[in-house]
């Protein structure tokens, strides 16, 4: 099953490689991994999307928690949460049917953020799953390039993942 882990880690040079190295060394899956500093610049927030049985997810959580640079690990699936991912997609203007494009963009509350002579660039923010659908909705011949940010997640309501 797909799980989203939210990590608070020391903002140090080796932290990312410790975490990604752990996943590869123990043959855990990473679907996506995003990392950026927080309001406290000594800390980074990492969101990892992974898959595995409950037992594997438990091992992942424990092993990640064990890393000395990791301050906190929360499995967002254990609570109400929201996830968002940014999709940037470059489309071939010669092939795009404008009407269809506009309807997709408005359906997913995206926007066309750049137009050049031959291309459209579309930006859409949504869950990973919805973005999968968006990409499928475009005629595959339109697509020149797909860039996805990877998922970021946060718990809903008052629950806060802090040090």
Partner 1 sequence: MAAYVISQGHQGEIKYPTHVLAEFMKICAKHNLTSVRKISSLSGFIIQEYLREKLTESTEKLRGADIFVRSLIDEGVNHLFGYPGGAVLHIYDALYRQTEIDHILVRHEQGATHAADGYARATGKPGVVLVTSGPGVTNAITGIATAYMDSIPMVVFSGQVPRNMIGNDAFQEVDAIGISRPCVKHNFLVKDVKDLASIIKKAFYVAKSGRPGPVLVDIPKDVTADLCEYSYPQDIEMRSYRPVTKGHPGQIKRAIKLLASAKKPMIYTGGGVILGEAHEELTNMTQKLGYPITNTLMGLGAYPASDGQFLGMLGMHGTYEANMAMHHCDVLFAIGARFDDRVTGDLEQFCPNARIIQIDVDPASISKNVPVDIPIVGDVKSVLTDINKLLDSQVHKIDKDAISQWWEQIKEWQKMDCLRFDRKTEKIKPQYVIETLHELTNGDAYVTSDVGQHQMWAAQFYNFNKPRRWINSGGLGTMGFGLPAAMGVKVAFPDETVACISGEASLVMCIQELSTCLQYHLPIKIILLNNRYMGMVRQWQEFFYDKRYSHSYMDALPDFIKLAESFGHVGLRVEKTSDVKDVLKQGLAMKDKLVLMDFITDQTENVYPMIAAGKGQHEMHLTPERELA
Residue window 25-44: x/- pattern of binding to partner 1, with contact defined by CB under 8 A: x-------------------
Could you tell me the smallest distance in angstroms from the CB atom of residue 34 to partner 1? 20
What are 163's two structure tokens? Answer: 């040090």
Q: Report the candidate in 36, 55, 58 with the shortest Cα–Cα distance to residue 47.
A: 36
CB 111 within 8 A of CB 80: no
What are 131's two structure tokens? Answer: 């973005």
Residue 16 near partner 1 by CB under 8 A: no
CB 42 within 8 A of CB 101: no
For the segment 60-79, give every residue that binds partner 1 (CB under 8 A).
62-63, 65-71
Could you tell me the smallest distance in angstroms from the CB atom of residue 63 to partner 1? 5
> From CA 112, how far away is CA 66, in angstroms rounded?
44
Q: Where along the sequence are the contacts to partner 1 (CB under 8 A)?
A: 9-10, 13-14, 17-18, 21, 25, 55, 58-59, 62-63, 65-71, 163
């Amino acid at each position: 099953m797909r799980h989203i882990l939210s990590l608070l880690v020391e903002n140090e040079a080796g932290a990312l490689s410790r975490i990604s190295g752990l996943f590869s060394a123990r043959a855990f899956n990473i679907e996506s991994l995003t990392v950026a500093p927080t309001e406290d610049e000594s800390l980074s927030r990492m969101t990892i999307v992974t898959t595995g049985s409950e037992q594997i997810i438990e091992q992942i959580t424990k092993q990640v928690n064990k890393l000395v640079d990791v301050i906190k690990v929360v499995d967002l699936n254990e609570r109400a949460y929201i996830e968002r991912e940014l999709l940037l997609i470059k489309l071939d203007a010669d092939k795009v049917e404008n009407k269809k494009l506009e309807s997709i963009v408005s359906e997913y509350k995206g926007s066309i953020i750049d137009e050049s002579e031959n291309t459209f660039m579309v930006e859409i923010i949504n869950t990973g799953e919805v973005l999968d659908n968006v990409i499928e909705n475009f005629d595959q011949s339109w697509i020149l390039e797909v860039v996805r940010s990877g998922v970021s997640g946060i718990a809903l309501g008052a629950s806060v993942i802090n040090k």
